[in-house]
Amino acid sequence: TVIVLDFGGQYNQLIARRVRENNVYCEIYSYKTDLSVIKAKNPKGIIFTGGPNSVYLEDSPTIDPEIFSWGVPVLGICYGSQLMMHLLGGRVCRAPEREYGKTEVFVDNSSKMFTDVQPSTVCWMSHNDYIEQAAPGFKITAHTANCPVAAAENEEKGLYAVQFHPEVLHTAEGKKMLHNFVYNVCGCTGDWKMDSFVENNVEALRKRIGSGKVLCALSGGVDSSVLAAMLAKAIGKQLTCVFVDHGLLRKNEKEEVCSVFGPGNANGFDINFICVDARDRYFAKLAGVTEPERKRKIIGEEFIRVFEEQAKQIGKVDFLAQGTIYPDVVESGLGGESTVIKSHHNVGGLPDTVDFKELVEPLRNLFKDEVRQAGRELGLPEYLVSRQPFPGPGLGIRIIGEVTPEKVAIVQDADAIWREEIAKAGLDKEISQYYAALTNMHSVGVMGDERTYDYAVALRAVTTTDFMTAESYNMPWDVLGTVTSRIVNEVKHVNRVFYDCTGKPPATIELE
Ligand code: XMP
């Protein structure tokens, strides 16, 4: 294991990820974590991340210098490098010339960090302070035009400092440098793979849970499915999964989830699987409701109620399992220590009246694509593992105005066609999220010789990296044409199809 100590930088998740790409397991901890916890992990190496502060100021994040005497190699990146120098007697101050962006760095190839790296190589810099003087015992191994100490090391003690960011792709040979650190310096063997993650976690879960009972809310999304599969493997019948069919699922979704986790499934998951048919309850509650926030609220609250009723029947459980993944873990307080349970409207949100002793969150160190990979290792079908994000309130927020079973059926059918054609056109990997929605609009059309007065379907497809902003996907006209003609022909009560060209902002990804 390599431990990343988080000092509040923007690229911390990337560092962990680059290490794992080298087949070395890696976890992120806040710099505030008790050193005994870190030591107990028996790490082969430690990496200090960047951060926005200045090491010489009073309240800046710091660490007990004891960590440097463990004999465990430490790599400091940016703020981390400055902190290392500062604590060990070097001098850090405001740089006369701030460096930002791609910068030419001259490296000393004899360093273990820079084996096989070009003597002049482009690195990503982003700093206002710089190391004016390396700490005693350190050799300077890289510099730039403006930065006398772009890298320094004390090889004997295994301490390495780099001012630039090897984890970002703009650093041309950054991958090689991190590879060098974990292999040449830390002596990692690179025998970790996603299947070892799965195996180790299954083992760890078994140990931790013992003969305890675990309750898990299964939404059918990627995270909760991988969570359920991992727990199923670890503890079998001690696990109870509750899946709520609120009637606002995508076409065939319920059947898919039941076939993977339900009785007689082909995956060998032998768990207590409860599928609650709550469709009528939801539709009754949603009747006549048109205001988006109220709809969201009703759907969220009803979910909790249904889940609680089930939990009551199950009785006291020892653990509640949550599919929290790394991006859900807020970096507040500068670190991975404080978590936020997936917020507000996420089905699977935490009902606070369920009686349990502890939370289990085995996925909390993984990125989305790593979760998908773990799902594959666990034998989950590809359609489940590569599923796109689906909001907790489901189709309820993709139907403008009142939600009725008829309208749900229309969206389900239109959405299934849209998804099918996008996959056929080979665009599914390229688009971040796409779906069909039902506008609340009727318009006049003609079919055969008859006048129609029917619904308009809206198609949406966006690309985004973080879902905070998004762009409408430049959809080929022929795909739109095929889908339009299929929808108006195959889905009753639809006579018009729109494509949403709006980005976020000003629109949101969902319509409500
Ligand atoms: P918006 O519409 O806010 O969506 O641009 C951004 C992303 O969040 C998803 N989304 C939700 N996910 N519960 C969820 O779990 C919700 O209530 C919810 N609302 C939006 C949306 O699908 C998109 O990926």
Confidence (pLDDT) at 340: 33
508 located within any domain: no
510 located within any domain: no
Confidence (pLDDT) at 335: 36
Question: Which residue CA neighbors atom 24 of ligand 1 most closely?
Answer: 389
What percent of the chain has pLDDT above 90?
80
Which atom of ligand 1 is nearest the CA belonging to 512?
Answer: 2
256 and 152 in one domain? Answer: no
Confidence (pLDDT) at 339: 31
On the question of pLDDT at 405 being above 90, the answer is yes
172 and 148 in one domain? Answer: yes
Which atom of ligand 1 is nearest the CA belonging to 389?
Answer: 24
Q: Per the annotation, does 225 bind a ligand? A: yes
Confidence (pLDDT) at 336: 38
Task: Give the H or E element holding residue 400.
Answer: none
**Where among 185, 212, 233 does a domain terminate?**
185
319 and 177 in one domain? Answer: no
Rounded-to-integer distance, Cα 245 and Cα 256, Å: 12
Q: Ligand 1 pocket test: pick from 250, 347, 467, 469 the residue with the most ligand atoms within 8 Å of its Cβ.
A: 467
275 and 294 in one domain? Answer: yes
Distance from the CA of 510 to the center of ligand 1, in angstroms?
6
Structure tokens at 325: 């993944």
359 and 249 in one domain? Answer: yes
The length of the chain is 512
395 located within any domain: no
Distance from the CA of 391 to the center of ligand 1, in angstroms?
5
74 and 142 in one domain? Answer: yes
429 located within any domain: yes
362 and 427 in one domain? Answer: no
Confidence (pLDDT) at 351: 59
Confidence (pLDDT) at 332: 29
**Helix and strand numbers, DSSP H then E, in the chain:** 13, 18
What percent of the chain has pLDDT above 70?
95
- CA dihedral angle for residue 368, residue 370, residue 372, residue 378, rounded to 10 degrees: -140
The domain that holds 171 is classified in CATH as 3.40.50.880
Model confidence pLDDT, tens digit, residues 197-249: 899 899 999 999 999 999 999 998 999 999 999 999 999 999 999 999 999 99
29 located within any domain: yes
The domain that holds 457 is classified in CATH as 3.30.300.10
164 located within any domain: yes
Largest pairwise CA distance in the chain? 90
**What's the structural domain count of the chain?**
3
Give me the domain span that covers residue 67. 2-185
Q: Is 207 exposed, middle or buried (0-12, 13-18, 19+ CB in 10 A)?
A: exposed
271 and 248 in one domain? Answer: yes
Q: State ipTM.
A: 0.98
On the question of a cis peptide bond just before residue 65, with omega within 30 degrees of 0, the verdict is no
Which atom of ligand 1 is nearest the CA belonging to 296?
Answer: 17
Residue that the structure tokens 């022929």 belong to: 478
On the question of pLDDT at 448 being above 90, the answer is no
391 located within any domain: no
269 and 238 in one domain? Answer: yes
Q: Judge contact between 174 and 105, C-beta under 8 A.
A: no
**Where among 335, 358, 385 does a domain terminate?**
385
Alpha-carbon separation of residue 49 from 33, 73, 138, 195 (angstroms): 14, 14, 20, 27
Reference 59, options 25, 90, 27, 32; nearest CA is 32
Confidence (pLDDT) at 331: 33
Q: Is 268 exposed, middle or buried (0-12, 13-18, 19+ CB in 10 A)?
A: exposed
Distance from the CA of 32 to the center of ligand 1, in angstroms?
32
The domain that holds 301 is classified in CATH as 3.40.50.620
Q: Ligand 1 pocket test: pick from 509, 511, 512 the residue with the most ligand atoms within 8 Å of its Cβ.
A: 509
Question: Which residue CA neighbors atom 18 of ligand 1 most closely?
Answer: 391
Q: Residues enclosing ligand 1, CB less than 6 A? A: 345-346, 389, 391-393, 433, 467, 504, 508-510
Model confidence pLDDT, tens digit, residues 255-288: 999 999 999 999 999 999 999 999 999 999 999 9
Q: Per the annotation, does 191 bind a ligand? A: no
398 located within any domain: no
Distance from the CA of 504 to the center of ligand 1, in angstroms?
12
Structure tokens at 262: 């339900």
Model confidence pLDDT, tens digit, residues 279-315: 999 999 999 999 999 999 999 999 989 998 998 899 8
203 and 173 in one domain? Answer: no
283: left (phi over 0), alpha (psi -120 to 50) or beta: alpha
Model confidence pLDDT, tens digit, residues 412-445: 999 999 999 999 999 998 999 999 999 999 999 9
Model confidence pLDDT, tens digit, residues 467-499: 888 999 999 999 999 999 999 999 999 999 999
Could you give phi then psi for residue 460, rounded to 5 degrees?
A: -135, 145
Confidence bin at 12 (pLDDT 50/70/90): confident
Overall average pLDDT of the 56-61 stretch: 94
Which atom of ligand 1 is nearest the CA belonging to 345?
Answer: 17
409 and 366 in one domain? Answer: no
Which residues, at least 6 apart from 291, have a Cβ–Cβ distance to it below 8 Å?
none
Overall average pLDDT of the 161-190 stretch: 95
Residue that the structure tokens 């809310």 belong to: 217
Distance from the CA of 348 to the center of ligand 1, in angstroms?
14
Confidence (pLDDT) at 356: 82
Q: Ligand 1 pocket test: pick from 466, 467, 510, 511 the residue with the most ligand atoms within 8 Å of its Cβ.
A: 510
- Compute CA 377 distance to the chain's CA centroid, rounded to the nearest angstrom: 18
**Where among 138, 164, 185 does a domain terminate?**
185
Confidence (pLDDT) at 353: 65
408 and 312 in one domain? Answer: no
